[in-house]
Amino acid sequence: MSNPKQSSPSPSAPPAFEPEIVLPANTVEQEYGLAAGTQSGSINTAQNNDMNNPHDKEKMMNRVIGGAAVAGGVAGLVVAGPVLGLVGAVGAGALATQQNKAGDVARASGDVVIAAGERAKKIDEKHHIAEKTKKATKSMLKGAKKFDEKHHVGEKMSKGLKGFADKIRPKPKA
């Protein structure tokens, strides 16, 4: 015996919405020269370099410690503000020099920061983002200056704020 309430939807009911997902042909890794399935592809990090030159090892270790400090500083800043951001930066940088699990984590965070910086450089080299941003900013500032020259916004704001300050200033008692 079948239950009529569990039967298939009526022919007049609209079909369930199923969005069509179109994936891009190239992934970010392919687009910017990172090998698929590798941890960091061609990004220059301490974990994927086999350096024999002690100077190169020291230079990379300094970059990793700096990256760890940046990661710790950003984390501290986000969680508790600028003072703990500074403490987090110093702490993560110091931890990165330790040969223990905490040091491994700090160095890994440094590697992530280095990788992100390298990827940002590759993206900027391809798309010229920094140059375009500078041009857009200059154009916006020129437009704002022309607008101010035409409408005297700065002068009007100054007068308005002075008038407001005069109104809220306590009157001297005579």
Burial annotation 19-47 (CB, 10 A radius, 16+ → b, else e): eeeeeeeeeeeeebebeeeeebbebebbe
Express each pLDDT in 52-87 by its tens digit. 677 788 888 888 999 999 999 999 999 999 999 999
Average pLDDT over residues 43-59: 62
Which tokens belong to 76? 């501290």
Average pLDDT over residues 85-99: 92
* Confidence at residue 25, expressed as pLDDT on a 0 to 100 scale: 57
Average pLDDT over residues 24-44: 51
Express each pLDDT in 115-151 by its tens digit. 999 999 999 999 999 999 999 999 999 999 999 999 9
Q: Specify the higher pLDDT residue, 11 or 59.
A: 59
Closest listed residue to residue 49, CA positions, set 37, 61, 36: 61
Closest listed residue to residue 92, CA positions, set 72, 112, 74: 72
Average pLDDT over residues 29-37: 52
Q: Which of 22-26, 31-35, 78-82, 168-172 has the highest mean pLDDT?
A: 78-82
When pLDDT is cut at 50, 70 and 90, the band that residue 20 belongs to is: low
When pLDDT is cut at 50, 70 and 90, the band that residue 171 belongs to is: confident
| Contact present, 147 and 153 (Cβ < 8 Å) | yes
* Confidence at residue 169, expressed as pLDDT on a 0 to 100 scale: 84
* Confidence at residue 132, expressed as pLDDT on a 0 to 100 scale: 93
User: Which residues, at least 6 apart from 92, have a Cβ–Cβ distance to it below 8 Å?
Assistant: 68, 69, 71, 72, 73, 75, 106, 109, 110
- Does 7 have pLDDT greater than 90? no
Q: What is the mean pLDDT of the chain?
A: 79
